[in-house]
Amino acid sequence: MYPYKALLFILLLFSLDYSSVYSQNSSYRSEFGFISDNDAYLATGQDRYYTNGLFLNLRHAVSPARIRSDKVFKNIWEFNVAQQMYNPKSGYAPTQRYVDRPFAGYLFGSYARHWLFKNENSIRAEIQIGTIGQHSLADKGQEFYHHAFGFYNIDGWQYQIENEIGINTKVSYLLKLTESKNKKLDLSLPFSAHLGNYFSGLDMSALFRMGKINPLNNSVATNSSIGNEGKYKGEFYFFLKPRLNWVAYNATISGSMFNPKSDNEITFDSRPLVFAQEAGLAYAKERWNLGFSLTFKTKEIESSAKAHQYGSVRVAYKFGKNL
């Protein structure tokens, strides 16, 4: 899939007057947004591995009167609905010899709570309930997209991983490390742990931001630009986020943890260590949060599969103005 129009749109938004983000804006208590992941955003013509992801989210900041701890600056709850699609080096794999990564889908809903502290550290806890396999509707979704936009025919989902319904949990901690004297550059360390029958492992990252940045407890970097009782200052910054992931289990590669493997299902072992580098831009002003980034990952699979890259577009609209 090659959604160039979305990429051009986000680049146009980033070309807006940089000075405008320095103005004081009204603050809002809620936001609705989406994230679109796709390898086509790199405009290289590839359509492989993690080929598409769509995330819809709704966030709301709890009233300050309901925050009991004097150390907590904000408390935000969040609902998500998402679908992720994976295929081999192409969505056209008519025989098993073309399958160097399993056909797989992951469809889930989640609920999360995010505690952002006055010292700019934060803790986020999330629980996901979903399904992998045919019940994820990834095969139907990819066939629909390719038919609707006139792309090549899809063939190979008969080899996809088996169905499994389950639960995954994720706990994240962000540590503010340092910042420059002019407050235009900072460094923080995000950590997260995943546990469940879909994904289990640990992530260790470093987040560098440079430009017009807000504190991490009031920033699009932590999805916390809502809920401030004062005026929200816009942001426009470049970021780098190198990440090392230790993989204990990945069901989209190794298949169902509990259900027996079918005769047609093709799975592989996951590589235990995967390195990723994300680089991008973030822009926020008044009601809108916008972002675009590219992620480059090392090889994830014990097969002939290669390293992988994809792009992400983020858009959120804020509403429910604070009084």
In which region does residue 202 sit, left (phi positive, over 0), alpha (psi from -120 to 50) or beta (all else)? beta
Domain 4-321 has CATH 3.40.50.10860: no
Q: Please tell me the predicted confidence (pLDDT) of residue 3.
A: 46
User: Domain residue spans in the chain?
Assistant: 4-321
Q: Please tell me the predicted confidence (pLDDT) of residue 10.
A: 53
Q: Please tell me the predicted confidence (pLDDT) of residue 26.
A: 67
What is the model's pTM?
0.90
pLDDT in tens, 278-318: 999 999 988 999 999 999 999 999 999 999 999 999 999 99
Q: Please tell me the predicted confidence (pLDDT) of residue 11.
A: 52
Q: Please tell me the predicted confidence (pLDDT) of residue 2.
A: 43
Q: How far is CA 109 from CA 112, 126, 202, 255, in A?
A: 10, 10, 21, 20
Q: Please tell me the predicted confidence (pLDDT) of residue 13.
A: 53
* Low-confidence spans in the chain with pLDDT less than 70: 1-26, 229-230, 323
CB-count exposure of residue 97 (10 Å: 0-12, 13-18, 19+): exposed
Token readout for 246 is 């230790």
pLDDT in tens, 190-226: 999 999 999 999 999 999 999 999 999 999 999 999 9
At 257, which amino acid appears?
A: M
